[in-house]
Structure 1
Amino acid sequence: MTRPVLAGLAIFIGLALLVFFADMALLIFAAILVAAVLDSCILLLRRILPIPRVMALAITMVFVTTAAVAMVVAGGINLPGQIESLLEILGEAWRIVAKQLNMWGVQVSQEIGLGDVIESLPEPQTMFGGAGAVLGTGLGFLSNIVIVMLMGVFMAADPARYRDGLALLVPVAWRERLVAVLNRIGWTLQRWIVGQLIIMVFVGGATLILLMAIGIEYALPLALIVTLLNFIPFVGPILGFVPIGLTMIGQDWTTALLVLGGYTVIQQIDANILSPLIQDRVVNLAPALTIAFLLFMGVAFGPIGIALATPILAALRVALLELYVGNFLGDTEQIKAA
């Protein structure tokens, strides 16, 4: 066989293994995002203090852990109880909405819980023959978080080791080019995740201030839900307003309009000011393509696929531009324009 045929066969086998072990791939990709955040903190710290990378990582981990504990002690101790009460209120609000929808001829269940939502999600194994078990069941949700965090810490401790190790799998003539592409993918992911975290903090903090100022009960868990869902572009802000909207049932019109108007202003600041300044220059993803990829990842892998869809698409875009458009098609001008 000629070398191009062997290369094509290797790529095909690699993609087949990636699909079959998609659960593991998503787990590793989530760890890469954790490593990207830690690496940003490490680089910032080393600009201030001339210390070894491992020491900077240790200081970062201590700071992050201390900050998390401080937030829990300061105001989040009662958060589990607040979330439980909020779920009861949301369930009652949904029953009111469902009853009205049934009166209009739209048949929906009046009783819905978290288990019903999970059961309604597509099973990853129906599309990939069993792939996705680890993230869904396997070791369990908490174990997966621990695994992701551990892998992220180890990657952040010595990222060049993993990058160069991956480059050893390709022919010598391709290694330098692959390292350059991996560096650009890492640069893109790092700036995307850091930018997204900044946006999440702004939107969540502004939402918390808005709800507390108006006097909405359970402002903290509602703001936390908005913060987490805002990780997902386009779809997240809409989903984040659903629990807020349900809690408005029974409130007076003035309160409801103030919450709706304030939330709309916050999201407009994000969409028209923060995201263009922080994200669009980094990833430059077409909105329609992003939404389509979100739908695909949701059908294929469920919630975890939706959560990781945008950074995966950003990484794929860089790889396609650099390797296919640049190397295979020879269109280097298009890469510069992108």
Structure 2
Amino acid sequence: MLEKKSIRILITLILLFLLIYLISITSFVFQPLGAYLTAIAVPIIGAGAIFYVTNPLVNWLEKKKVPRIGGTGIVFLIIVLVIMISVTIIAPIVQRQFSNLIDNIPAMVETTQKFINMWQDNQNIIPSQLDDTVQRITGNLDSYAETITTFIIDLIGQIFSFVFAFFLIPFFLFFMLKDGHKFVPFVSQFLSKHKAKSFKELTADINHTLSSFIQGQFIVSLCVGVMLYIGYFIIDLDYSLTLALFAIIMNFIPFIGPFLSAIPAVIVGFFQDPIMVVWVILVMVIAQQIEGNFISPNIMGRALSIHPLTVITLILAAGGIAGFLGLLFIIPAYAVVKAVVAHFYHEWQKKQPGNDPNIF
């Protein structure tokens, strides 16, 4: 039995790698499809994320006898209201703070140079290796500042391109909210009874995985951002709203997101007043403790059931391969793949003899 099973597994792997090889040598056939998917990736992903945040409200309204298209209209009105508030109240403040931060970068660089020069002048014995390193860093501070400024400008350009694609998101979102619940029954009608049941179970697992992550991460990140803004406002940290919004975005990245959001806040606090660094760290520790002990356990729970070491490994790999977008999407993508593999493995187990359900 073991030999037969091993042979079947070997043949399956050979066929799988053969299929991958055939796809690689005929990649030109799939280029138009790849271009199409690339063009619609941003609207679909953006609409999908908003769908999982707003769909519970549409479902709740539907239970209250509100037609689904009416619930969709209410969701769009709420979204428009949030955008109007953001544009009229939040956006001008963020723009002003961000402009001031960019304008202050040369002053920060000059202060750093003076600090390093003062430190060098007050040192009697400096190892030659350390002195060379300090000299190299000091000489390159201007280029570092220019690199950072260029990166920020390029990032702004990418954000504008990203925002341009967002104009299509409302159209995708409208039909997702209005007709999304019809997708599974539509596909199931073309399948046999057993396969239709399996397909419904698979889509339910994927839907639960994505909704748990997106809804939970959205609420957690928003709560952390609000707590950080309140803390920054109390300690009178410069650019508090901009730094809090940056923290909201970074907190969508598990584990390393809070550390990434801490870097600019600590730097700004240091240049504002060195003692401010202590207060910034204190605010962050309090916010993370509240999030880790009260908010996340009650909202996220163990919905994805992914080991922390796996999360860290995935984030490191995704960051090296796909950059910031990879950091954002690797965890839900992995969770979906895990759900799909687990589903088909359980389906395979059901077809095996009762006394030998395992692969090996």
Q: Does 1:89 align with 2:104?
A: yes
Q: Is the 8 A contact 1:93 1:249 kept in 2?
A: no
Q: Which amino acid aligns with 1:50?
A: K
Instruction: Describe how 1:178-189 pairs up with structure 2 within 5 A.
Output: 178-189=199-210
Q: Is the 8 A contact 1:200 1:230 kept in 2?
A: yes
Q: Which amino acid aligns with 2:57?
A: C
Q: Is the 8 A contact 2:105 2:145 kept in 1?
A: no
Q: Does 1:202 align with 2:223?
A: yes
Query: Once structures 1 and 2 are overlaid, which stretch shifts more, 174-183 or 213-222?
Result: 174-183
- What corresponds to 1:252 in structure 2? 273
Alpha-carbon deviation of 1:66? 0.9
Query: Once structures 1 and 2 are overlaid, which stretch shifts more, 20-29 or 232-241?
Result: 20-29
Query: Once structures 1 and 2 are overlaid, which stretch shifts more, 246-255 or 58-67?
Result: 246-255
Q: What is the number of residues matched between the two proteins? A: 311
Q: Is the 8 A contact 1:196 1:279 kept in 2?
A: yes
- Per-residue displacement from partner, 1:44-85 (whole Å, max 9, x unpaired)? 3334x3111111010011012113312443444332122121
- What corresponds to 1:113 in structure 2? 148
- Per-residue displacement from partner, 1:180-214 (whole Å, max 9, x unpaired)? 21122112211221111111111111111111111
Q: Is the 8 A contact 2:315 2:327 kept in 1?
A: yes
Instruction: Report SS of the residue matched to 1:232.
Output: coil
Q: Does 1:193 align with 2:214?
A: yes
Q: Does 1:32 align with 2:48?
A: yes
Q: C-alpha separation between the residues in 2 aligned to 1:165 and 1:24?
A: 26
Q: C-alpha separation between the residues in 2 aligned to 1:116 and 1:41?
A: 39
Is there any run of 5+ residues in structure 2 with no aligned partner, and where?
A: 1-10, 117-129, 352-360
Q: C-alpha separation between the residues in 2 aligned to 1:252 and 1:323?
A: 58
Q: Does 1:162 align with 2:177?
A: no
Is there any run of 5+ residues in structure 1 with no aligned partner, and where?
A: 121-134, 332-338
- What corresponds to 1:334 in structure 2? none
Q: Does 1:239 align with 2:263?
A: no
Q: Does 1:301 align with 2:332?
A: no
Q: Is the 8 A contact 2:54 2:75 kept in 1?
A: yes
TM-score, normalising length: structure 2? 0.73
Q: C-alpha separation between the residues in 2 aligned to 1:188 and 1:245?
A: 35
Q: C-alpha separation between the residues in 2 aligned to 1:118 and 1:293?
A: 28
Q: Which has the higher contact order (CA 8 A, sep 6+)?
A: 1
Question: CA 1:238–1:265 in structure 2 vs 1: closer, same or farther (change >3 Å)?
Answer: same
Alpha-carbon deviation of 1:321? 1.7
Alpha-carbon deviation of 1:288? 1.8
Q: C-alpha separation between the residues in 2 aligned to 1:113 and 1:64?
A: 34
2:164 equivalent among 143, 149, 172: 143
Q: C-alpha separation between the residues in 2 aligned to 1:266 and 1:248?
A: 17
Q: C-alpha separation between the residues in 2 aligned to 1:52 and 1:188?
A: 27
Q: Does 1:80 align with 2:95?
A: yes
Instruction: Report SS of the residue matched to 2:82.
Output: helix
Q: C-alpha separation between the residues in 1 aligned to 2:77 and 2:90?
A: 20
Alpha-carbon deviation of 1:96? 5.3
Q: Which amino acid aligns with 2:254?
A: P
- What corresponds to 2:197 in structure 1? 176
- What corresponds to 2:58 in structure 1? 42
Q: C-alpha separation between the residues in 1 aligned to 2:329 and 2:40?
A: 11
Q: Which amino acid aligns with 1:53?
A: R
Of the two, which has the highest radius of gyration? 2
Q: C-alpha separation between the residues in 1 aligned to 2:150 and 2:349?
A: 49
Alpha-carbon deviation of 1:236? 1.4
Q: C-alpha separation between the residues in 1 aligned to 2:187 and 2:163?
A: 28
